[in-house]
Amino acid sequence: MGVYLNPDNKNFGDAIRSEIYVDKTGLIAHTNRCVNTEQKYLCVSRPRRFGKSMALKMLAAYYSRGCDSREMFRGYKIESSESFREHLNKYDVIYLNMQQFLIRARKQEVTEYLERAVIEELREEYGNLFSERITVLAEALERIFAKTRKEFIFLIDEWDCVMRERQDSETLQKQYLDFLRDLFKDQPYVALAYMTGILPVKKYGQHSALNMFTEYSMTDQDALEEYTGFTQAEVKELCERFDMDFARTGSWYDGYMFTKFRHVYNPKSVVEAMRRHKLSNYWTSTEVYDALKMYMDMDFDGLKADIVQMLGGGRVRVNTRSFRNDMRNFEKKDDVLTLLIHLGYLAFDSEAGEAFVPNKEIIEEFETSMSVGGWPKVMDVLKASEKLLEDTLRGDEKSVAEGLDRAHTEVSSILTYNDENSLGCAIGLAYYSARKDYRLIRELPAGKGFADVVFLPLPFTNKPALIVELKYGKPAETALQQIKARQYPRALEGYSGEILLVGIGYNREDKEKPHSCVIERLHR
């Protein structure tokens, strides 16, 4: 049992003894299938606070022969797997937290410090199998394997911190990547290598030689979707246990979307909300958060318009393939948006190739970044949105139209009205404050078509639902007629309460009062 070689299971024991532990041990069944196969190299990238380190603690407790974890896993999902006993505490595990090495190395080379520390522990266990002159970790492991046939499982946390925190040092990055390539590529002593970080591994200039790794990222988690965050079923169970409203919880922390699991929640935030019995923003400030505004303000054509469109409840197409997987080299707006997906500030629908702002927690992050400066016109729209909603709920058609006129004037330099989709995004932005009490749904299947924007009230808000139809180049009356003709209120089956039918028209030829509005109340 050591610090780096064969750690014990204390850290995982602390996790399962906590007030809230969600069983993610099914991940072990997946990694067991990868042991000693061509798929034994896994790089799992997720945003901060998405359980990356927790997964490594669990894997260490399971694989490390430095402990006996049979009782620790009793009653959890992995215990029923056929592979459970086959691999339990059978391997030499090397556990590396690269953040610690980066801090402790100080003026030394990071890899030099790492190799010295790990080899020191290897000598205690296998010192008679390799000579004192060996200072290269891969060479020491090769000698151990040649004489014992012992295989190692590597668990590396914060693998990408060198890339994130030493962005200007290409020499250090190259040396680090060369170290990882030498340590892993085609090495017979590797039974499994599982790395976690925020960024994927592919494209650091010419040094993309870590291509042996299968990547699981926020653009495609593939088989690990279920273990990326909390699932809808897991959050529903927690809400029942802690007497928290499930719909409200979802509006705060749901929104991350994958192919099979369409509702994935920020796990750290959900845990804090349950513990404190309060829905709030539990993302803590880090160097990544501080950089959000810098990325938002980057001077790429169309970037600000895309961000405004997403804040208005819309989606934008993103080509994620051109991103070089670092936080410095950006060639177009798609690269910036892809980084924000990996950081967790945007969600990504891989089937549609579209990015969007996932939930209220992230909306607040964007709002905080915009309030610092550089986005004054958008902030004016957000501040005015409370009054716009109040005017709508009162049925004050004139004030609503005037409010939309002002909102349009403020954002016209960023977001151009050219169709009903862009109009819908602007409307969503103008009604920004409604998200406190409503779930905004764009293009909701309804009756004989799709309602442009629906505001569905969250439980216990005592607010009416809003069905908003938009007409570009036509009067508001036409929009209201379409709501009725196509029976859009039928989409709210199961909802009992007042519904406001809101028709909005936009006439770009009318420079003074381009917006018109009609509102009708429907009682069910």
Q: Which domains does the chain have, with CATH numbers?
A: 10-216 (3.40.50), 230-365 (no CATH), 375-522 (3.40.1350)
Structure tokens at 53: 């380190």
pLDDT, residue 285, reads: 53
Task: Look at residue 205 in the predicted model and tell me its pLDDT.
Answer: 54
pLDDT of 168? 78
pLDDT for the residue numbered 409: 87
322 or 83: which leads in pLDDT: 83
- Strands, E, within 325-428: which ranges? 347-349, 354-356
- What are the residue ranges of helices labelled H in 298-357? 303-311, 333-343
pLDDT of residue 424: 83
pLDDT tens-place string over residues 391-420:
999 999 999 999 999 998 888 878 777 777
| Residue 324 token pair | 């070089």
Average pLDDT, integer, range 315-337: 90
d(CA 356, CA 306): 9
Q: Which residues contact 417 (CB under 8 A, 6 or more apart)?
A: 408, 423, 426, 472, 506, 508
Q: What is the pLDDT of residue 107?
A: 64
Is the Cβ–Cβ distance between 199 and 344 less than 8 Å?
Answer: no
Using the predicted structure, report yes or no on whether residue 328 has a pLDDT greater than 90: no
Among 184-188, 248-252, 372-376, which is the least confidently predicted range?
372-376
Q: What is the pLDDT of residue 383?
A: 93
Confidence of residue 215 (pLDDT cuts 50, 70, 90): very high
CA angle 364, 367, 372 (to 5 degrees): 130
Rounded to whole angstroms, the Cα distance separating 300 from 304 reads 8
Q: Please state the rounded mean pLDDT for residues 490-507.
A: 90
Q: Which whole-number Å values give the CA distances from 374 to 6, 87, 192, 378, 451, in the listed order?
A: 51, 55, 47, 9, 34
**What is the residue whose two structure tokens read 């036409």?**
478
pLDDT of residue 491: 85
Out of 232-246, 288-302, 306-320, 326-340, the most confident range is 232-246
Q: What is the mean pLDDT of residues 320-342?
A: 90
**Mean pLDDT, residues 271-291 taken together:** 79
Q: What is the pLDDT of residue 204?
A: 55
